[in-house]
Amino acid sequence: MFSTSSIIDKLNQEEGTEYKKLCRLLKLSKKSDKDKLDIALLALEELEIIDKNDDNEYFNVKESNHLVAKIRCSSKGYCFAVRDNSNEDIYIKENLLNCAWNGDKVLVRIIKEGVRRRSPEGIVDCILERSNQILLAKVEIINEEVYGIPIDDRILCKIKLPKEDEKYKYIPDNKNVVKIEIDLFPIGQHEGIGHVIKQLDLKNNDKQDIDFVLSKSNINKISKLQDLKLNAVNQQPRLDLSSKNSYMFKSWNNDNSPMLPLLQIDKNKDNSFKLWVHTNAIAERLDLYSKRGIEIFFDNFESFPILEDWDNYLSDEIYKSSKFKVGKVNEAISLCIDINNENEIINWSFHLTKVKCTLLVENKHIEALLTRKSTSRITSRILKPIKDHVEDLDKIIEISKALRTRQISHGKIEIPKTNNNIDSLKELLVHNPVDYTNEYLEPLDNGDIQTYLSPLLYEANALWFKHSNNYGLQNVSYISQELDYINVSDIIKNSELIDKDIKLNENGTLTSKQLIELCSDENKKRILHKLLINVLRDNEVKLIRKGFNVIDSEKIISPWVMPSYDFINLINQFNIYNMIINGKRNKNTNKKIINIMEKDSWEEVKWDIYNSSTKKNMDLIFNKRIVDKINEYKNKVRQYKLNMINIKKVRKAEKLIGNIYSGLITTVQSYGFFVEIKELFVEGLVHVSTLSNDWYEYRSRQNLLIGRKSKKSYKIGDTIKIKIIKVDILKYQIDLELV
């Protein structure tokens, strides 16, 4: 099915597109689909978003006064159209949403410019893409009609259901919510229409949690690429490194977790080293040059853990053909990094290789390596079986530590993962060494060997950005934000968390690293970490093209080393593969051959390394529409992970209602304060309405609640006694009261 957005994407501003060609581009053959297209085209013409020339060819209007944005609504009914590139948000009154929902992609027209600190106001003229095809809802009877009321209170509507769906009526004690498929979205004065496809009974039934959380996170179709044709591995001569020792650092327990790269270390005569990063050769096995080859990924751009198991975005066939197995020779795409005796990167090059995994290095190995008393003697029963590899592993760990120190010196900060003792979440909480959605890094952890893999892969991904950017190639990247400084007002607001001796610079700011170091108490430091996480925005994926203004290349990475993890890694690896196979090494046969895969080779290349055909094919892969789709999907997966952790914490608290615990106040708001129960690693709310012994007012400047009569105050960092009184599975909420 086509969307309004897909119609606009198929039209060009300069060249017209005739109706029959547009139908072919949208893959429409049924008369009913063409009738819907006719209605959409007429509406877009009326709104002056598209136009038609004398030859009856359609094209996008050049000087349109419409802006592309996404609708973001709050639970209180405030809605904004959020634009790209950090442009100012546009306030949309509820009656001007024109049936747009939270998350929808829309065209907005500004009707009132912003003044002073007020946002501009606008109206939604066109809904480009709907974000929800399936809703979680409660079935209720209103005026003898059956309706689905979305449990997401940011979706400001109700959906009319057939009479037979009355049997799913919501019973609060049963927590019986339903999944509704939308048959017709609301239009003008007409209500939305849908039908129930499944009931989820959530009361004391954690077997439904996965389905519930996936649906609430708007992940409704988990596809596997079974019908994607596999290519044979390229038979071009590959550098054979299969006789060398290669190691896989792995903490994930499941066999179907994302495939991790191999590490190889070679010592040179001058005491420098070559560190090899060998990645699974997946990109060359897939046909990504066709629109079908790309669009098949649109429902699933990323692998993610379903509790103990994983849902992979690649098919089992792709997975099995590319997986590194101990003792087996595999094709790889590899990066060779030259490291001097001070553990600094001095050179690099990319290669097609053959490799063999020698050893699976696990958490027990890293712990034994780092806690042994002498580096010269091997006495541990864990290390004895691998004593021939200990020297290599020691050096890899040494390089990892040195690179992490360098990354921190360039402005990155470390924030530890929140503690958790819920067994079903273990796989989800293992460190992912190529997840760059957070602005901060996770500290190296002796209990998780993948944290030691992380600094190495960070540099490998950063090197590909530098290499591809020097050649003017497109890539998909994460750009670190300029958020190293925390405003002094935020420090004062939470001054109880840090020592009193604060030295600010002339701008009245501190670096986030300095702020953390000023907090000496471990409990308060944990709260400060939470506050920083809330301040730091999640990173988005960006399309980097030739001419992109790169101010600081140290702040940009282009992930490619784990193509089984997500589509970003896959297409960046595909770019490397294409550069190796199709890149021009010289301008004509009379000149010397240049190894374009080596560092600084670009300085000798005065020609385009891709011909026009390859460029056109790469444009199919590297375009803004795909990057937008990736960001949308990553937001869903990010929400799913948070929601899954939250629901399991609520399930844990559900069994402990009535129990009394000692808790730490972590956040204070006007409506109450949040308390962390440290021994359970869960957090709940003490609502201000339960503080019946006095009237409490919120003082935002001091960030505390204080009683008018008693002057009793509650502020961040206080330790109090609380009791679990209620849980709400639908909202992932734990209610507490003071003892």
In tens, the pLDDT along 470-526 reads 999 999 999 887 655 555 455 556 656 666 666 666 665 666 666 666 676 777 778
Are residues 385 and 510 both part of a single domain? no
pTM higher than the cut 0.85: yes
Same domain for 517 and 464 = no
- pLDDT for 307 equals 84
Looking at the structure of the chain, the number of domains it has is: 6
The residue ranges of the chain whose pLDDT is under 50 are: 488
Within a domain: 588: no
Both 43 and 177 in a single domain? no
- The DSSP letter of residue 619 is H
Note the residue count of the chain. 739
604 falls within a domain = yes
Residue range of the domain that includes 664: 656-738
Rg (CA), the chain: 28
Roughly how many angstroms between the first and final C-alpha of the chain, as a whole number? Answer: 57
Whether 720 maps to a domain, the answer reads yes
Cβ neighbours around 61 below 10 Å, total: 16
Give the domain CATH number at 671: 2.40.50.140
Where does a domain end: 60, 80, 103?
A: 60
Looking at residue 426, what is its pLDDT?
Answer: 85
Q: Give the separation between CA 259 and CA 562, rounded to whole angstroms.
A: 7
Q: Is residue 572 part of a domain?
A: yes
| Whole-angstrom distance, CA of residue 712 vs CA of residue 691 | 11
Instruction: Identify the three-state secondary structure at position 490.
Output: helix
Same domain, 470 and 449: yes
| 216 within domain boundaries | no
Contact yes or no for 231/284 (Cβ under 8 A)? yes
**Residues 6 or more apart in contact with residue 721 via CB below 8 angstroms:** 660, 661, 662, 663, 738, 739
- Looking up tokens 């994926």, which residue turns up? 541
Amino acid at 428: L
Q: Is the dihedral of CA 560, 565, 566, 567 positive or negative?
A: positive
Provide the residue type at 203 as one letter: K
Closest to 17 in 3D by CA, of 58, 52, 60: 58
State the CATH number of the domain containing residue 195. Answer: 2.40.50.700
Q: Which residues pair with 106 in a beta bridge?
A: 69, 127
- How many whole angstroms separate alpha carbon 88 and alpha carbon 102? 18
* C-beta pairs of 703-707 under 8 Å, 24+ apart in sequence: 703/493, 703/494, 703/668, 704/668, 705/668, 705/672, 705/673
Residues 380 and 251 in one domain: yes
In the block, tokens 């299969």 appear at 242
What pLDDT, on the 0 to 100 scale, is given for residue 648? 93
Q: Among residues 183, 189, 144, which one has the least CA distance to residue 166? A: 144
Return the half-sphere exposure (C-beta side, CA atoms, 13 A cut-off) of residue 295: 9
Is the domain of 363 the same as that of 434? yes
- Residues with Cβ within 8 Å of 6's Cβ and at least 6 positions away in sequence, in order, are 26
Nearest-angstrom CA–CA distance, 293 and 160: 38
Closest CA to 302 of 629, 530, 603, 10: 629
The structure tokens listed for 215 are: 């649906």
pLDDT at res. 534 = 76
Same domain (yes/no): 410, 555: yes
Degrees (nearest 5) of the Cα angle 584, 550, 582? Answer: 15
- Residue 297: how many CA atoms within 13 Å on its side-chain side? 28
Could you tell me the two tokens for 726?
Answer: 């209620």
614 and 733 belong to one structural domain: no
Residue 241 pLDDT: 97
Same domain, residue pair 490 and 626: no
Which amino acid is present at 294?
I
Query: Which pLDDT value is given to residue 518?
Result: 67
Kindly state whether residues 157 and 51 are assigned to the same domain.
no
Whether residue 227 lies inside any domain: the answer is no
- Judged by DSSP in three states, 503 sits in coil
In a domain? residue 647? no
Given 60, 82, 108, the domain boundary residue is 60
529 with 552, same domain: the answer is no
Structure tokens at 423: 């067994």
pLDDT value for 502 = 63
- Same domain for 524 and 667, yes or no, is no
Q: In angstroms, rounded to a whole number, what is the distance separating the alpha carbons of residues 537 and 545?
A: 24
Is 228 inside a domain boundary? no
Domain boundary residue, one of 20, 35, 60: 60
Of 349, 365, 379, 339, residue with least CA distance to 248: 365
